[in-house]
Amino acid sequence: MSKYVKKCPECGSVNLFWNKDKGEIICRDCGLVLEEKMVDFDQEWREMDSEAAARKRRTGAPMSYTHFDQGLGTEVGTKADFYKLGGKSKNKFFRLRKWQQRISTAIERNLKLALAELKRVSSYLKLPSSVEEEASRIYTLAVQKGLVRGRSMESVVAGALYAACRRHDVPRTLDELSEASGVEKKEIGRTYRFITRELGIKILPSNPSDYIARFASSLRLSPEAQTKSVEIIEEAQRVELTSGRGPTGIAAAALYVAALINGEKRTQREVADVAGVTEVTIRNRYKELLDELGLEKEIKKTKKKAAAAA
C-alpha cells in the first residue's frame, strides 16, 4: 500500500471512479478495475448534528467484530481479590474462575484463530473492510450459537465471507472463495446455507450486473461494452430470462454479446474462464438473449461496419 493511485496504470487516465461500497476503483476510460489499492481514507460517517456526532465518534480503538471480544473482554480477577473471602466463598470463587476460563478459552481461542484466517482469506480476495467486518460479525454469531460444532473452522469462515459478500453486493463466486480458502466449493455452499438459515440472515439472489465490472476488467473490455452488457441484463430481467438461472452465466452471456456488438469479440472460452462457467452455459444464455431481445440486428450492424472498414 505504498502510495495512493491517481492514474490508471493501463491507460494513464486520471479519470477514475471510486466505488467504495464494492471496494473497486474503475477507470472511466479503459474500464480497468483496480482493486488492490483499497484503503478507505474517509470517515464512513458524517456528522449531521452534535448529538449524532457524539454517538458516532469513537475514542480509542474502534470497537470491532474483527477483534475477537470486541476489545471488551472481562476476566474473573486473580489473587489480589480473594484473600478477604471466607472458606465457602473462596471455593465458589475458584470454581467460577475455573469455569470462566474453560468457557472463554475454548471460544476465544477458536475466534482468534478463525478471525486470523478470515483476515487472510479476505485480503487474498481484496475484499473491502466493510465486508470483512460483516463476515467477522457473522462468524462470531455462529460461534455463539454453537454452529461451528461438527464443521471445520475454515469452512464456516468461508461461508461467513461468502454471505457477507452477497449482502454487500460484492459477490465473489464460490470458486473464488474456494480457491482462496482451500475449502471445497460444495462445503462452502453447505455451511453458507446452514449458517444463513440458522442465523436468519436474509440474502437476496445476487444480481448478475454486480459481476460485470470485475469480469469486464479481466477481459479488458471497454466501458462502453460494460454499459451495454448491464443494459442487456436489465432487458433480460424485464423479460424474465434471469430467474432461476445462475447469475454468473447471465453475466457471462451478456458480456459476450456486448463484446460482439461493440466489435471487441472475445471467444466463448475466454469469457467462460473468467466467469467460471462453461461455454455451453454461455451458449444457452446467449441463445435465449438473441431469441428474446432483438440483438441479431445489432450484431450484424457491427459486422457490416467492420467489413466496410476493411
Partner DNA sequence: AAGACGAAAGTGGTTGA
Partner DNA sequence: TCAACAACTTTCGTCTT
Residues that bind DNA (CB under 7 A): 186, 189-190, 193, 244-246, 249, 265, 267-269, 276-281, 283-287
Is the CB of 126 or the CB of 193 nearer to DNA?
Answer: 193
Report in angstroms how near the CB of residue 242 gets to DNA at its nearest.
Answer: 9
Is the CB of 27 or the CB of 165 nearer to DNA?
Answer: 165
Is the CB of 65 or the CB of 162 nearer to DNA?
Answer: 162
Q: Alpha-carbon distance 165 to 122, whole Å?
A: 10
Is the CB of 59 or the CB of 243 nearer to DNA?
Answer: 243
Q: Alpha-carbon distance 278 to 74, whole Å?
A: 53
Three-state SS for 262? coil
DSSP codes of every residue in 99-110 = HHHHHHHHHHHH
Q: Alpha-carbon distance 211 to 218, whole Å?
A: 11
Is the CB of 23 or the CB of 246 nearer to DNA?
Answer: 246
Report in angstroms how near the CB of residue 157 gets to DNA at its nearest.
Answer: 18
Q: Alpha-carbon distance 69 to 143, whole Å?
A: 12
Is the CB of 47 or the CB of 198 nearer to DNA?
Answer: 198
Is the CB of 66 or the CB of 207 nearer to DNA?
Answer: 207
- Element (DSSP H or E) covering residue 178: helix 174-181
Report in angstroms how near the CB of residue 296 gets to DNA at its nearest.
Answer: 11
Are the CB atoms for 244 and 60 separated by under 8 Å?
Answer: no
Report in angstroms how near the CB of residue 287 gets to DNA at its nearest.
Answer: 5
Considering only CA atoms, which of 141, 142, 146, 178 is closest in space to residue 162?
178
Report in angstroms how near the CB of residue 125 gets to DNA at its nearest.
Answer: 20
Please report, as a single letter, which amino acid is at residue 310. Answer: A
Instruction: Count the neighbouring beta carbons within 10 Å of the beta carbon of residue 13.
Output: 14
Q: Alpha-carbon distance 177 to 195, whole Å?
A: 16
Report in angstroms how near the CB of residue 300 gets to DNA at its nearest.
Answer: 12
Report in angstroms how near the CB of residue 147 gets to DNA at its nearest.
Answer: 17
Report in angstroms how near the CB of residue 257 gets to DNA at its nearest.
Answer: 10
Are the CB atoms for 218 and 173 separated by under 8 Å?
Answer: no
Label residue 122 exposed, middle or buried (CB < 10 Å: 0-12, 13-18, 19+): buried
Is the CB of 28 or the CB of 269 nearer to DNA?
Answer: 269
What residues contact residue 137 under an 8 Å CB cut-off, 6+ apart?
Answer: 65
| Cα–chain center distance at 120 | 14
Q: Alpha-carbon distance 44 to 48, whole Å?
A: 13
Is the CB of 29 or the CB of 279 nearer to DNA?
Answer: 279
Report in angstroms how near the CB of residue 221 gets to DNA at its nearest.
Answer: 14
Torsion of CA 212, 213, 218, 223, to 10 degrees: 100
